[in-house]
Structure 1
């Protein structure tokens, strides 16, 4: 029973993360934070799935490695955008500006 409640909680975490991602799309930092929350909820679902079926947790370490790389890439894009444009608003960002 506890495993089902944990799975429902992780699905709720994922839905809340997607809602925040779609509602707070003005700032790049808030979008990156909600993406990390979504990745965290997916990792929790993966962990519960592997725990439920007694699999090894090697794939979860690979997933964490890729999620850390995704977070570092997002932060580097954020720093680059703030250095060139001065803020992280998407309205002030244009691909045509050099």
Structure 2
């Protein structure tokens, strides 16, 4: 019971950090990774509870690692082109 409350708290705190739209892209990416981690823990808790196979968790981890690598590549590209990672200085329409 305590672990499920902790997972829900982790999920909502990651959602709040992601939705607050901070100045830096790195902070928003960390909030997104915290969301992914809490979803991983909830899926792992669910599969452990019912003794399911953990193959889907492995696929989920592969997808989240590739998402994290893509986000870091975007961050590096943004820093190289604009010199900072401020969200307000980067225009998506330009």
Query: Structures share a fold, TM > 0.5?
Result: yes
SS in 2 for 1:55: coil
Deviation at 1:91, TM superposition (A): 1.0
Q: Deviations over 1:31-61 (max 9, x none)?
A: 1111111100000000000001110111000
1:25 Cα deviation (Å)?
2.6
TM-score (norm 2): 0.94
Q: Does 1:91 align with 2:92?
A: no
**Aligned residues, how many?**
94
| C-alpha distance in 1 between matches for 2:25 and 2:80 | 14
What stretches of structure 2 of length at least 5 have no aligned partner?
A: none
Match of 1:6 in 2: 3
Match of 1:71? 68
Q: TM-score, normalised by structure 1?
A: 0.90
Q: Look up the match of 1:15.
A: 12
Taking only aligned residues, the RMSD between alpha carbons, in angstroms, comes to 1.1
Tell me, which stretches of 5 or more residues in structure 1 are unaligned?
none
2-structure distance, mates of 1:96, 1:46: 37
Equivalent positions of 1:16-55 (< 5 A) are 16-55=13-52
Runs of 4+ in 1 over 6 A off after TM superposition: none
